[in-house]
Amino acid sequence: MSVKRALLLSTGDRYIVIGLNFVTVAAVSRVLTPEEIGISVISLAILGIALSAREFASSSFMIQRPVLSREDIRGTFSLMLALTAAIAAFLVVAAPALASSFHEEKLVPYLRLVSVCLFVELVPIQVVTLMRREMAFGKVAMINVAGAATGGAATVALALTGFSYMSFAWAWLASSTVTGVLALALRPDFWMFKPTFKQWRRIAAFGGYNGAIVFLYRAYEALPLLLLGRVLSPHAAALFSRGLTVCQIPDKLILGGAMAVVLPAFSASARQGGDLKRSYLHAIEIITGLHWPALLAVAALSYPVVDIALGHQWQAVAPLVQVIALASLFTFSFELNHPVMMAMGSIRDMFVRSLIVVPVSAVVMTTAVLLAGLMGAALSLMFIVPFQAFVSLSFVRRRLSLRWDEIAVAVRKSGVVAALTTLGPLAMVVAGGFSFDLSLGQAIFAGCLAAAGWLVGVFVTGHPLFDEIVNAGRIFRNAVAPT
């Protein structure tokens, strides 16, 4: 399969799954209460930490291995199976104690049911990893879309029929089952599931640093949700979780598409011994030109965005979205830092970085939640995210011989574009009596003003995105022109 076709399939797969997940979140948020969703949020936070142990037997071992033997494939599955069994056993046994610590007995059936899901999903994980190695992205897309569609439909249907918070757990089981059956239908190689532990040392060695990094970050990501669920209520955990979800819309809808173009070019430059520094700065310029304007628009239009995405019962999320979106402006390099460090063989630096930022971030987040509750958690990100960005960029700068002024030059045009994008929505806010709670009609008009401001900004500054727009227009004209 050509790289262009693989990229097209991979990008299409990503956007279809994102769309299905968005529809699911929007529908379920209108059916279930924040309290019900909060139980699932807390459970998934616990699962996130527990499942990080499985990264010590990462299936990525099969992708990175130059020559892959049957023993390697069977060994990876066997080690993942053993770790999954340990995780599931822990969840089953510890569920009552965990539920008691959160004063929420409903966590017990949820955690015990998803422990079954962990075994079922091992099959599609194994098969999909091998398909990715072979660049069989068409089959991967079929499996991913089928899983997302099944999970979304099951979640909404179960929520409507009264399964409450358990809708998510049963839908996970349904999705895992469907993807597992489809994966085996597309690749019925049952020999790969025969246990063997001959290669366990090699596999575990590969996943060492990676597993430690994933564990640290999963623990940090779960921390605010667990703290809010424990100190306040599942309702508070759900509000914070949905605030993060809304602020990730630009990442997934806009940045995801950009990364599909930026990262392959960056990786190719690394393989060919090209100028990684130049590629990195160009990628930052493209990303910030899309990401910053979108985040500022979400912050300015937080109330109508929340109303459209989640429903009116989630209006308390809007002030959180404003704060989180502003903090997220500093995440512009996060998607690039991992591949550039991996390309330069600096996974140990990534681990050291994690040892620096995670403890500091955890202390700040914990203090903020204990002192100021839900809004404190959001406000703490105004320190945590810039701090993480500073440390990450410091490591990247050392590897690429980057200067701070070079980074500033790379993002200055994007700053102007972002400012011009925000003028329209802010003008609507001022015209409405300095109220961010715009009507749907006002929000649509403000969105059009934001889009116009973005186009003007890209043209006036001569941003590299202008060339991309021109090229896209040329391709479209050629496609629709009569032959």
pLDDT digits (tens, 9 = 90+) for 361-405: 999 999 999 999 999 999 999 999 999 999 999 999 988 888 999
* Residues sharing a CB contact under 8 Å with residue 316, sequence separation 6 or more, in sequence order: 239
Residue spans per domain, the chain: 1-208, 248-345+392-483
pLDDT score at 158: 97
Q: Do 446 and 300 touch, CB atoms closer than 8 A? A: yes
Task: Report how far Cα 251 is from the mean position of its chain's Cα atoms.
Answer: 8
pLDDT score at 467: 81
Residue with tokens 């701070």: 404
Joined together, the tokens standing for residue 183 give: 């994966």
Across 234-238, 283-287, 400-404, 434-438, the highest mean pLDDT is recorded for: 234-238
- The fraction of the chain above a pLDDT of 70, given in percent, is 87
At residue 238 the predicted structure's pLDDT band, cuts being 50, 70 and 90, is very high
What is the CB neighbour count within 10 angstroms for residue 1?
12
**If you average pLDDT over residues 134-147, what whole number do you get?**
86
The reported pTM is: 0.88
- Residue 340, CB-side half-sphere exposure with 13 Å CA sphere: 27
Q: What angle do CA 430, 433, 435 make, to 5 degrees?
A: 80
What is the CB neighbour count within 10 angstroms for residue 395?
18
Give me Rg for the CA atoms of the chain: 23
Joined together, the tokens standing for residue 234 give: 């599942």
Q: Give the C-alpha separation, 421 to 451, whole Å.
A: 7
Q: Give the C-alpha separation, 429 to 435, whole Å.
A: 5
Q: Give the C-alpha separation, 21 to 215, whole Å.
A: 25
Q: Give the C-alpha separation, 474 to 469, whole Å.
A: 9
* Residues sharing a CB contact under 8 Å with residue 196, sequence separation 6 or more, in sequence order: 71, 74, 75, 78
Q: How many residues does the chain have?
A: 483
* Four-CA torsion 128, 132, 138, 144, nearest 10 degrees: 40
Q: What is the mean pLDDT of the chain?
A: 87
Joined together, the tokens standing for residue 429 give: 């806010």
Residue with tokens 């227009």: 473
Q: 384: closest CA among 318, 316, 317, 331?
A: 331
* Four-CA torsion 128, 131, 135, 139, nearest 10 degrees: -80
Q: Is the dihedral of CA 319, 323, 329, 332 positive or negative?
A: negative
pLDDT score at 189: 86
Higher pLDDT, residue 63 or 126: 126
Beta strands in 38-79 (DSSP E): none
What is the CB neighbour count within 10 angstroms for residue 89?
11
Is residue 41's pLDDT more than 90?
Answer: yes
Q: 323: closest CA among 372, 394, 253?
A: 372
**If you average pLDDT over residues 76-88, what whole number do you get?**
89
